[in-house]
A and B are shown apart, each in its own frame.
Chain A
């Protein structure tokens, strides 16, 4: 393998990997903070892309601004979804509700939300597939290796968001409270903290991450109503590989899956995907909790 090809493959792996990472960080925040396995996450991602399309292409805003706006809009959508659906649902749960019941009902509620968001987008934006022409169309040519600037920007933005998120979760009080709330909301309430808004923020933050992922990817891929359905499987897979509830695990998992797919397509062709799935099962044989997570009940 020539070094040029190698670099090319690595860049490909990083782009796709970083999108998975953003998606999964969002999924994981929602899962840990609010105990919801969010099946609508893919639709939030899709909405993020559509919102970017709206701001960037239709309203002609600056890309960075449009991206921030799509994050913000999705945070709002997330918050509203939480208020409208999951907040109502969580009133049904008591301390003695079993975990599996809780998980199941909230997952099903998110499936309902998914259907509505999916078809709603379809009705609003029509079936026409869209896309935006990248604001960074340049190709960087480093020693004969052609790398699209869009990809570099995507990787850079993802790293930026990851760092920001890391700071938020581990260096601020919000992060600690979030972890606490996911364990025992009542005890946290008794410290004078309005736990309800913490839940809302968790969901909004997770949704914003999905929206950002969708927005970031829009210049690279196309914007279609079905784009959410396709990414959610891979996101779940990354979540599993990395280990649920592990920030580092998510990043490792996203990169690993990105690399496997990138090199897999090169050397194995179409069945690379199957190969990745099987590899995941093998990983789980040896590490039931994922790469960096712990096996959980």
Chain B
């Protein structure tokens, strides 16, 4: 098992936002987490990447306990996180954003090949290479965020609402990119409001409600589940 989350709880101050949450991701798998606004999806991802400390339970990556490590250490172990709201580095140029993304690459050559790869996938980023990232449009920023995470060469990539604010055409592309990334053997945790797309992409899914996992199962089966259809797929 690549990632195992065992009975974690997370608090913001006194409020408990995650409770007894367990989930796991196998090597090469796409897992999606869906749930309403405020269900705790982003919090789960933040707990995994160490941005938020867990107050109970533990998280194991590759058999090794990672809950308690600092986020940069977790990233180095091979978990990339594309955070909610993109969080690109607005005052820096696009290229500088990417260079920072390539921080973990050992050599310049390695980094350069990473950039080539990125530019092949996202030609628009090559065009905007020297533009200040903050002036990119929302969609361009999302691409930059994904590209930056890819440069970390993760084994597990967590994406928090990657389709947010993207035009339908690009959403489609993002879907393809996710598939492709997965095709390279990278496992993915996908948090999406666009549940239909998420379930189409994923092998397995977890449904979160008020900080607890209420349902878990094959993604394909869930698309047909009446309750899911009603609550998350819209009609």
What residues make up the interface of A, taking CB atoms closer than 8 Å to B? 173, 176-177, 179-180, 183-184, 186-196
Contacts and interface: CB of A to CB of B under 8 A. Distances in A.
Contacts of A173: 99-100, 103
A195 B151 CA distance: 18
B91 A193 contact: no
A188 B89 contact: yes
A194 B89 contact: no
B171 interface: no
Nearest to B134: A183
A261 B103 CA distance: 45
A219 to B, nearest CB: 39
A176 B93 CA distance: 10
A188 B91 contact: no
Contact of A190 (B49, B90, B92, B96): B49
Given A176-B92, A176-B96, A176-B100, A187 B75 contact: no
A179 B90 CA distance: 10
Contacts, number: 72
A187 B89 contact: yes
Contact of B92 (A179, A186, A193, A195): A179
B103 A190 contact: no
Contacts of B70: 189, 194, 196
A144 B95 CA distance: 54
A198 to B, nearest CB: 10
Q: Which of A183, A184, A187 has the most CB of B within 10 A?
A: A187
Contact of B103 (A186, A192, A196): A192
Q: Which of A180, A187, A188, A192 has the most CB of B within 10 A?
A: A192
Given A190-B49, A195-B72, A183 B92 contact: yes
B89 A180 contact: yes
B104 interface: yes
A180 B100 contact: yes
13 contacts: A176-B96, A180-B92, A184-B90, A187-B89, A188-B89, A189-B71, A189-B72, A189-B75, A190-B83, A191-B103, A191-B152, A192-B76, A192-B103
